[in-house]
Each structure stands twice: as C-alpha cells, then as structure tokens.
C-alpha cells in the first residue's frame, strides 16, 4: 500500500504532492514490517539489513566530502597544515569568515563585492532567461509550425556547446563590443546558456496542461493573454519555478566563461574569486574553505526550500514532454 | 515594428530565444569557425586576415598531444557517464527500498548537485592532497600506510581522482531520474513476475530494467549536455598535469588560446570538442525521443 501511495504522490503530472488525498494514513504505519511486500525468498531479513547498511554507506559518501570542507572553514590554516585530527579539532574559529568579509586582520580578497556581483548577475540573468524561456516553451507546447522539430533540436544543441569552447570566440567578440569586464556581458552569456534548458522544461510542463482549459476561458470572454495568465500560468508554476532554480544554480556556479569575461572587483563572481586564494606555490586552504561555505550556503538554502519543484522539474518536465 | 506585428504569434514568441542564442552561441561559433582557418594570434590583431585554410586542422591532426587529449576525453566521458549511471541506479534502488524517511534521503542525495564544479574540483584537490588531504590521512593513520600517495601527481591516479570528483558531483542527476522512474512504475507486472516464481534478480532484469531504460536515456541526455563542465574540475585539480597526462581537449584548447594566445589553433581544437559534444548529445537525444514515444505508449 505504501508503494502505491508513493506512486500516486509522485505521479501527479504537476509534481504536486497528493499526500493529503492519499489513503496512506488510514492504513498501517509506513514503517511496519508487514508493510513491505511479502518476502520473496527466505533471506528477506538479510536483504533488509543490507539495504539499511547500503543506504548508510551511500549517505556517508555523499555527505562527508562536502562536510569535511565545511568543517575546515572553521579551522586555522595552521591547524589544517598541522593535520592533527580528522574531525575533532582542538579549537574552532570564525577568523576565516572575518577575514574574507574584511572584518579581521587580513583583508586581501573583496569577497563582499564578489558576492554582490554574483547575486546581481545570477538573479538578473535568471529572470531574463525565464521570461524568454517561458515565451519559447509556450510556443513549442501550444503552436504547430513548420520545422518545429528541427528548431527544437537546434535550440537543445546550442546547450551542448561546452562553455570553454564558447569562451574563446565570445571573448574576442565581446572585447570588440566592449563587453569584457561588464556585468551586462556576463548576464547576456548566462541568459543564452539558460534559455534552451528552460524552454525544454517549460515546454514539457505546458504540454501536460490540457489545451481545452485555456480555450474554455477564451470562450468565456477572456483574451488569449488573460487566459494564459489566469489559467495556464498558475498551473505551470511548478515547472517555471524548477526552470528558474536550474538557471540560477547554473549562473551561480559557472566558472569557465566568467573566469575569462570578468576581470576586476566590479564584475568577478564568487567562483572566479575562489581562484584569488591560489598563488603560484601555495594555497590558502582555510580561506578557500570559508569562501566555499559562502558559495554553497545560498544554493543549499534555495534548493532545500524548493526541492520538490526541482525533482518535479527534472522528472516531469524532461520525461513526459 | 509594423512588420513584427504581422508575424504569427509563435514566431513572435520564439524570436527572443533565437535572437539571444544567435548572438551568444551561433555568431561566436561562426566566427570561431572562420578564425580556425586563420593564423589569428590575440597579440597581433592583423593576423586575423591571414587565411591559411586547413593548416590549423592539419597541424592539429598531426599533433600527438591532441590525439592523446582526444582519446582521454572520450575515455573520460564514457567511463564517467557509465559509472554515474551504475551508481545512480544503485542509489535509486536502495532509496526506493526505504519506506521511512525517504523524503529526507532524497533531499540529502541531491546535496552534491548544489556544489559548483569549480568547488568540487577544489574540494577534491584538497582531499587528495598528498600532505594534508584526508584520503592520505586516513590511509596512514588507520591502515598503516607509511608513504604518502600522490593522488594528483601520479598520472593514473590523477585520472582516477578526476573521475571520482566528477562522479561525486553528478551521480545525483541519474539517481533522481531513475528514482522517479521506479516510483512511476506500475506494480502489476512485478506482482505477476512474483506469482510466476521469478527471483528478485530475474524480476529486476526482465521487468524493472526495461521499464527504466527510457529514464536512463533521459538522464544520459541531460548529463551529456553539460559534461563540458568537467573542464572546471580538471582545471582546478590537475590543470592537465602531471606532465600533460590528464589533459583533455578543453584544457588543451584553453591553454593554446589563453596562454599561448594562438586563437586560430585553439578555435580549431574547440571546434573538434564542440562536434564531439554535439555527437554525444544527438546520440542520446535520438534515444530520448524513442524512449519518450515508448513511455507515451505505455501511458496510453
């Protein structure tokens, strides 16, 4: 029964949870032994325990590398180099964070400015990419036109061009246009990077909304525009949200293009700023770890808030379209 | 503006997408195709008119370094994509078996996806560091290995370390999609298989796996769209070293373009890289379309 409840919960076309409607609560509690399917062979108990152990090991491998870096953000460079203990250090410190935000003794790297640049560039490019992607996705989902299939594949292929291969010619053209080391130049590139995937996800979501709904609204006297905003848009919200998250994360994390297109404190983003901690022969590990935490925290918070949309977006936008 | 209004609505809706892709992707690619036929050097702008036909490509195909990088890139992509698929499948099957706290596990599973590739590169460079890295630390303290292992210094180990970093970063994409597939799977065929006396392994092989295949291709398509991101990881962890033994096409072309300023040559190389990526993507895209049709048939 649990299996079926889960299936229902996850099968809703818009990825919304049907938990309240599912009968799971009325039946046996989820974790009861009898709730699992009947044992297929005598070693069912062994199987169950190997699943538990397997999940534990998998979760450790997923979590520990990231957590280890975060832990080191609270150690001094001396402690890291002395390598005295794995997980329990003798002392923890916030100095690394004070330093990178210019509150401590050492202030070399303008992380605050990089942070603002990252926020401005990521948010602006996400908003623009989603508006363009919304128009494109809607057009692909709702209209029939010639060469539609080829246009769609062409759009997708533009995403297949690796950022680094693009960075060489974009760098030359942008330097002619005077767009090197401007936020506009970087935003423009990120919009183009995010449009294809947004179109793909949003197209998948609009296809699942019956065309008849908007048509009914039009018959009732709405204009096409009103029908879109009042009927179709609210239903596709989950897909649009997930496209927005993917676009934001891509822009927030991008390095190959940003490292060539941004040069100064006014434009450098956080991933590029990470390189400031390396010099020819030494690396300021503690500072880098602290900056890593600064980069990862906004992404983590955002993702955990909207993780349901994220899964729905990846699965239903991509699969069913 | 008048002529814009005469266009059909779908064209008006699509113009912004194609305009921005045209400006940022298509135009630069056309330009880089042109420069790949010239002896363009960034430091001497007039060389852009120095048209040398296929000399860059000929030099490229004669270069041993390039062929090694090419082979290594294909090897890296194949190994990494397949291992990610296997681990993702394992993870999805494990989590699918868990009934309590599954939502939490799914959230944790996505943790590495949030890490920027550049961050993953740096993180694993730190972990595999021969002096202060946690990997050597554990090996020495718990397993009594006396000599520090140079994970990023030895050519074979460096390649392995890069693959580990890339797999850690991206397995979640496969796991999520395959988990969605497992959850959307109808239970009746499994029940039938059980009644017919299939072992779990047989049921998995003949019922579950065929149903999951479309999801595998979808994951492959999505991942092959951004395997080029591995540039960041390689750039940080080994920067193509030791002695060029982990050089991939991307790092090699970036080096030729930005460090040696040979833009024409570098663009010829990135063109090969672009074609390689597009080949991978088209391959999976075709499989994806086939699998979508299969899914819709099952649904209907």
Per-residue pLDDT of chain A (321 residues; tens, 9 = 90+): 333 333 333 333 333 333 333 333 333 344 444 445 555 556 677 878 888 899 999 999 999 888 888 888 888 777 777 766 666 666 777 877 887 777 766 666 788 889 999 999 999 999 999 999 999 999 998 888 888 888 888 888 888 888 888 888 898 899 889 999 999 999 999 999 999 989 988 988 888 888 888 888 888 888 888 888 888 888 888 889 889 988 999 899 998 889 889 988 888 999 998 888 887 677 888 888 889 999 999 988 888 887 777 777 766 655 554
**CB pair distance less than 8 Å for B180 and A192:** no
Is 0.90 exceeded by the ipTM? no
What is the Cα–Cα distance from A98 to A134, expressed in whole angstroms?
A: 42
Q: What is the pLDDT of residue A26?
A: 37
Q: B258 — contact with chain A (CB < 8 Å)?
A: yes
pLDDT band at B85 (very low <50, low <70, confident <90, very high): very high
Q: B218 — contact with chain A (CB < 8 Å)?
A: yes
A134 to chain B: closest CA residue? B13
Question: Percent of chain B at pLDDT above 70?
Answer: 95
What is the Cα–Cα distance from B274 to B188, expressed in whole angstroms?
A: 45
What is the Cα–Cα distance from B182 to B200, expressed in whole angstroms?
A: 15
Please state the pTM of the whole predicted model. Answer: 0.84
Q: B289 — contact with chain A (CB < 8 Å)?
A: no
> Taken in order B36, B41, B46, B51, is the CA torsion positive or negative?
negative
CA distance A228 to chain B (A): 13
Q: B197 — contact with chain A (CB < 8 Å)?
A: no
Q: Give A80-113 pLDDT, tens digit per residue.
A: 777 666 666 667 778 778 877 777 666 667 888 8
Q: What is the pLDDT of residue A88?
A: 63
Count the neighbouring beta carbons within 10 Å of the beta carbon of residue B212: 20
What is the Cα–Cα distance from A306 to A299, expressed in whole angstroms?
A: 11
A254 to chain B: closest CA residue? B116
What is the Cα–Cα distance from B237 to B243, expressed in whole angstroms?
A: 14
Q: B108 — contact with chain A (CB < 8 Å)?
A: yes
As a whole number, mean pLDDT of residues B247-274 equals 87
Q: What is the pLDDT of residue A23?
A: 39
Q: What is the pLDDT of residue A316?
A: 64
**CB pair distance less than 8 Å for A173 and B28:** yes
What is the Cα–Cα distance from A289 to B281, expressed in whole angstroms?
A: 35
Identify which of A54, A189, A319 has the shortest CB distance to residue B295. Answer: A319
């Amino acid at each position: 029964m649990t299996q079926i409840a889960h299936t229902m919960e996850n099968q809703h076309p818009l990825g919304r949870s049907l938990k309240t409607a599912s009968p799971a609560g009325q039946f046996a509690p989820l974790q009861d032994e009898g709730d699992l399917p009947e044992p297929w062979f005598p070693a069912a108990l062994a199987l169950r325990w190997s699943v538990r152990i397997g999940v534990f090991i998998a979760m450790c491998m997923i979590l520990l590398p990231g957590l280890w870096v975060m832990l080191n953000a609270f150690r001094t460079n001396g402690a890291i180099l002395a390598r005295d203990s794995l997980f329990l250090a003798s002392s923890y410190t916030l100095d690394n964070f004070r330093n990178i935000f210019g509150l401590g003794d050492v202030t070399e790297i303008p992380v605050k400015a990089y942070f603002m640049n990252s926020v401005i560039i990521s948010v602006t490019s996400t908003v623009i990419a989603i508006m363009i992607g919304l128009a494109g996705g809607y057009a692909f989902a709702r209209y029939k036109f010639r060469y539609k299939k080829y246009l769609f594949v062409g759009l997708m292929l533009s995403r297949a061009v690796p950022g680094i291969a693009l960075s060489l010619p974009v760098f030359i053209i942008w330097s002619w246009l005077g767009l090197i080391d401007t936020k506009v130049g970087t935003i423009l590139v990120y919009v183009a990077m995010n449009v294809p995937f947004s179109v793909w996800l949003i197209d998948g979501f609009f296809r699942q909304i019956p065309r008849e709904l908007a048509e009914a609204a039009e018959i009732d006297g709405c204009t096409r525009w009103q029908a879109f905003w009042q009927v179709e848009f609210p239903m596709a919200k989950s897909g649009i949200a997930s496209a927005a998250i993917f676009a934001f994360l891509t822009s927030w994390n991008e390095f190959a293009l940003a490292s060539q297109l941004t040069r100064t404190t006014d434009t450098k983003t956080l991933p590029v700023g990470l390189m400031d901690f390396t010099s020819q022969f030494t690396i300021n590990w503690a500072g880098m770890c602290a900056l890593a935490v600064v980069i990862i925290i906004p992404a983590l918070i955002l993702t955990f808030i909207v993780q349901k949309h994220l899964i729905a977006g990846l699965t239903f936008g991509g699969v069913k379209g | 503006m008048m002529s814009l209004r005469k266009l059909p609505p779908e064209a008006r809706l699509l113009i912004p997408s194609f305009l921005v892709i045209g400006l940022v992707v298509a135009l630069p690619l056309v330009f880089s195709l042109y420069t790949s036929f010239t002896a363009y050097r960034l430091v001497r702008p007039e060389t852009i008119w120095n048209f040398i036909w296929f000399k860059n490509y000929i030099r490229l195909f004669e270069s041993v370094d390039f062929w090694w990088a090419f082979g290594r890139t294909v090897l890296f992509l194949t190994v990494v994509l397949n291992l990610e698929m296997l681990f993702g499948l394992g993870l999805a099957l494990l989590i699918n078996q868990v009934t309590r706290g599954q939502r939490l596990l799914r959230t944790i599973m996505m943790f590495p996806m949030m890490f920027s590739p550049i961050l993953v590169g740096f993180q694993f460079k730190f972990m595999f560091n021969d002096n202060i890295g946690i990997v050597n630390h554990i090996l020495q303290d718990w397993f009594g290995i006396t000599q520090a292992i140079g994970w990023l210094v030895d050519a074979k180990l460096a390649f392995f370390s890069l693959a580990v970093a890339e797999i850690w970063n991206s397995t979640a994409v496969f796991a999520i999609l395959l988990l969605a597939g497992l959850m959307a799977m109808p239970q009746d065929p499994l029940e039938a298989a059980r009644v017919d006396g299939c072992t779990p392994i047989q049921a998995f092989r003949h019922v579950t796996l065929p149903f999951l295949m479309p999801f595998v291709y979808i994951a492959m398509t999505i991942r092959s769209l951004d395997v080029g991101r591995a540039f960041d990881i390689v750039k940080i962890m080994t920067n193509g070293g030791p002695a060029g033994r982990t050089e991939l096409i991307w790092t090699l072309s970036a080096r030729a373009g930005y460090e040696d300023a040979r833009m024409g040559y570098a663009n010829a190389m990135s063109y090969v890289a672009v074609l390689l990526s597009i080949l991978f993507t088209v391959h999976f895209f075709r499989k994806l379309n086939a699998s979508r049709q299969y899914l819709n048939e099952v649904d209907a």
